[in-house]
Amino acid sequence: MARKKPPASDDRSCPPPPDGQDLWVFAYGSLIWDPGFPFEEARPATLRGYHRAFCLYSVRYRGTPERPGLVLGLDRGGACRGIAYRIAAARVGAVLAYLWEREMVNRSYHCRLLSVMLADGPVKARTFVIDRAHPSYAGKLSLERTAEIICHAHGQRGACLAYLDNTVKHLDALGLPDRYLHALLAAVRSRRDTVDRH
């Protein structure tokens, strides 16, 4: 009996094979300030149909099983401004393997090929969108609850607050400010100030 092929939507098991062409990768979180791979160019880009959100619990990199943190994902609805990196064709296989090891440890994302808008028109880019069926998906948390979690969480790669702060600073420096992340950062700092005073 022939082995059943995984459904087309099961894009989490391994990186997509290179097609011999340059590849664009859309970054919306830590890949903006710490890509970790070589690229030919980096350009501001807008992805429509998804928004940046702290919607994924982290029990390793930015939290612990006892006190989970939160990391960013792309969730459905709205739009997101970020950076599109162009990867040379000869490096696509190695870069995708690196991204898989970094982003897909828990298979909590889908790696999708989506249209993003650059200043001179659209391109197709690989990006990681949240899997809403994954047990680590946090759903739509209130700003207050998100701030509470970020305020106290710390994991192998450091504090959740540092992750938020780095993202805000780099988006600002690129001329791509995110109002929600600014409000969230202010809420986290207010909480920390209150804790410090007591």
What does the pLDDT profile of the chain (198 residues) look like in tens digits?
Answer: 334 444 444 566 778 888 899 999 999 998 998 899 999 999 999 999 999 999 999 998 899 999 999 999 999 999 999 999 999 999 999 999 999 988 887 889 999 999 999 999 999 999 999 999 999 999 999 999 999 999 999 999 899 999 999 999 999 999 999 999 999 999 999 987 765 554
Distances in Å between the Cα of 180 and the Cα atoms of 43, 59, 66, 119 are 22, 24, 27, 24
Residue type at position 190 = S
Task: Look up tokens 């391109």; give the residue.
Answer: 123
Which are the catalytic amino acids?
103
**Cβ contact 150:141 at 8 Å:** no
Distance CA 117, CA 83 (A): 10
pTM for the full predicted model:
0.87
Half-sphere exposure of 189 (CA within 13 A, CB side): 9
Span between the terminal Cα atoms of the chain, in Å: 68
CATH class, domain 23-197, is alpha beta
Q: How far apart are CA 178 and CA 172, in angstroms?
A: 8
